[in-house]
Amino acid sequence: MAGKVVGVRFKKAGKIYFFDPGTLDLKPGDAVIVETVRGLELGRVVEGPEVDDTENREQPLKPVVRKASPEDIVKAEELKQKEREAFKICLDKIAAHGLDMKLVDVDYTFDESKIIFYFTAEGRIDFRELVRDLAGVFRTRIELRQIGVRDEAKMMGGLGCCGRELCCATWLSEFSPVSIRMAKDQGLSLNPAKISGICGRLMCCLKYENDIYDEAKKEYPEPGTKVKTPEGEGRVTAMNIFKGTVSVELADTKVVNEFPLDEVETLPAQEG
């Protein structure tokens, strides 16, 4: 018989992980202590409880240990202060070792069995001496984890060119592949400065809007298609799905005019 699961998130806009709630009565918004591969962690329920209908899981779900107590919440706040202090110490150690790396974030596990330092760097970094140095200061397990520029933007946050907070830092829990073809299909300028996010990579919104463009464009003739318009025949040069128009270069005058989609008739291919 299938058991129940709850989805738990550890950071804002972070990935959702599923756990076994056991006999606990949980609901979205509840703070919980869960067992993870990193040790005990504090997170918040964002989904469920619901029946686990996923078949063939590689391993049993780890349990929700308990609902978080007021003392647990206080400890979580204290850990944030410790993380800020650890960040400053690590910055000093990086400078002392002359390492070409940028420290991005620090994360204590809830049971303080490990501290994870996130950093970016152009290439591989030999940080073994740094790890030993940090272990001597904090007297616990140390992990240095190199991340990409998209993960850095997600952790740091900021404003996009649209003037809103970054999607990755507010609600986009996982990154999807984004291609330059998506920008072309959406008729956007291919100027990197205009289609890249603050991370320097193509904007994530190109991906999650792309399906809408693909669906809308099915009603429009492709560029190069021969069409008939109220002003004569010509060939399609562009389309604007927001205005519901098609740009056509007229055969007689070579002038490009814009027509409503319902005024443009596609001519048979053999007439082209």
Instruction: For the chain of 272 residues, list the mean pLDDT of each consecutive stretch of 10.
Output: 80 88 90 88 88 62 91 94 96 94 93 92 89 93 92 89 89 87 86 90 88 87 91 90 91 90 85 44
Pair 78, 131 in one domain: yes
Pair 142, 103 in one domain: yes
Q: Please give the model's pTM, rounded to 2 decimal places.
A: 0.73
* CATH for 81: 3.30.300.20
Considering the domain boundaries, does residue 139 fall inside one? yes
Which of 68, 88, 106 corresponds to the end of one domain? 68
pLDDT at 210: 87
pLDDT at 1: 41
What whole-number percentage of the chain has pLDDT above 70?
A: 95
pLDDT at 53: 62
Pair 138, 87 in one domain: yes
pLDDT at 34: 92
What is the domain extent for residue 157? 152-213
What whole-number percentage of the chain has pLDDT above 90?
A: 50
Secondary structure (H, E, C), 83-100:
HHHHHHHHHHHHHHHCCC
Per-residue pLDDT of 110-125, as tens digits, reads 989 899 999 999 888 8
What is the full DSSP assignment across the chain? ---EEEEEESSTTPPEEEEB-TT----TT-EEEEEETTEEEEEEEEEEEEE----S-SSPPPBEEEEPPHHHHHHHHHHHHHHHHHHHHHHHHHHHHT---EEEEEEE-TTSSEEEEEEE-SS----HHHHHHHHHHH-SEEEEEE--HHHHHHHH--B-TTSSBPHHHHT--S-----HHHHHHTT----HHHHB-TTSSBPTHHHHTHHHHHHHHTTSPPTT-EEEETTEEEEEEEEETTTTEEEEEETTT--EEEEEGGG-EEPPGGG-
